[in-house]
Each structure stands twice: as structure tokens, then as C-alpha cells.
Amino acid sequence: MRVLLVEDDKSIAEPLIEGLARYGITTDHVAAGAAALAAPPYDVAVLDLDVPDLGLPGLDGVEFCGRLRHTRDVPLIMLTAHGAEPDRDLAADDYLAKPFSVHDLVARIRVVGRRVRTAPTADPVRRYGPLAIDTRNRQIRLHGVPVSLAPKEYDLLVLLAADPGVVVDRRHILDTVWEPDFFGPGKTLDFHVASLRRKLGGAGWIENRRGVGFRLVVPA
């Protein structure tokens, strides 16, 4: 998952970027509103309403949020000062009062991000080298040949394929593919990864970063 963070305070932005990365979330950071409007595609926007200079004359944080929602059809989480009453007429997907923990923000991102993962796309087939994932019909083909996956194996593959090459945290995988705060058998994830590797024809497709998580590796 890719998140856009609009935050002008580096002492806040840098720990957030590092913290989100531990959960397998890639963060694009901008400090001004103009850069946010010009940012490449992302899945969720996180905006600090206390940013004093959005770089857009005559446009305050609340008005900027309205413009961002109008131009980008993505979930929006607003960070507000502790005790401040946000303008809920903006219909933001969620609000989070400062100070907050990275875990709290990740939980909010995951909830609103479900909208992105379930939204239909113009082309439901995603291609990764010889691997094709048909998200509409939940079908997998490798070199044009159908591959039969169990439901959890399919969900696991789709999650890893959402950002190829990026390590996805084990906890995030369990919370997303199974359920939040999943505490099933300790080897559940490893068993499914092993099975998925076998069905894809080899371990090279999924790399294990010991103690961290897994990532999808697309062959050159």
C-alpha cells in the first residue's frame, strides 16, 4: 500500500515514515499542498490540518482537503490537534487526534484502505512477468496456464503483488489476509507461503526477510 503524507514538520514526518515502513506501507512525503495535488498515484492520503503553509495562497487546510477530495478519489485521514473539533462536513474517511501512535495510524489506514483493495479497476488483470492475476474472477495464470490457489493463498499473493519488491510485515499480512489481531498457529503464514511457492513453481517468487516479512520478486 502507498500512502501520501502531507506534513511540514520533519520531526513528525520522519518517524511516521519509518514506522509505517515497518508495517509494509510505502510513504510519499510532501510538505506543501501544491506538491500533494501533483503527487503520483497513492492509496490513502494522510493530511495534517495544522500545516501552516500549504503553498496555495488563499487556501487553508480545510479548503485544501475539499480540493484534494475533489481531485483524487482516495480515502483521506486528517490529523488534528488534540481536542480540536474537525470540520466533518468534509466527509473525511477518518480523523486522528495528536499525539497518536504509529500503530493507531496503521489501524486507521488499513480500515480505509479496504476501499482501495476492493474497488473495481478498468482492467482486472494485473501482470507480473509471466504471472497474471485476474482480480475480478480471483484467477491466477502462470505462463498462460491456470493455477489453482486456496482462498488464503490467493489473498496472500494479491497482497504481496500490490507493491512488488516491497517487504510486507508479517503482522500486516496476518491482520489483512486473516483478521486483525490474528493469533492462530504460529506457522500458519509460513505454511501458506510454502504452499504458494510450490504452486508458482519455485521459492524465487516470494522472498523471506527473516524476522520481518515477505516480498514478491518478479523475475527479470
β-strands 206-209, 213-216 pairing:
antiparallel
pLDDT given for residue 60 in this prediction: 57
pLDDT given for residue 83 in this prediction: 53
pLDDT given for residue 179 in this prediction: 66
Give every residue of the chain whose pLDDT is below 50, as ranges. 55-58, 89, 119-121
pLDDT given for residue 67 in this prediction: 67
**Model confidence pLDDT, tens digit, residues 15-36:** 999 999 888 888 998 877 667 7
CA distance 92 to 101: 20
pLDDT given for residue 111 in this prediction: 81
pLDDT given for residue 130 in this prediction: 93
Residues 127-164: b if buried by 16+ CB within 10 A, e if exposed: ebeebbbebeeebbebeeeebebeebbbbbbbbbbbbe
Question: What predicted TM-score, i.e. pTM, was given to this entire model?
Answer: 0.51
Q: Of the CATH numbers 3.40.50.1580, 3.40.50.720, 1.10.10.10, 1.10.645.10, which one belongs to the domain with range 125-216?
A: 1.10.10.10
* Domains 2-118 and 125-216 in one fold: no
Per the rule left: phi > 0, alpha: psi between -120 and 50, beta: everything else, 11 is alpha
Domain 2-118, what fold?
A: Rossmann fold (3.40.50)
Peptide linkage before 99 cis (omega within 30 of 0): yes
* Alpha helix stretches (DSSP H) within 81-176: 102-118, 151-161, 170-173
pLDDT given for residue 58 in this prediction: 45
pLDDT given for residue 89 in this prediction: 47
pLDDT given for residue 131 in this prediction: 94
Domain range summary for the chain, segments of one domain joined by +: 2-118, 125-216
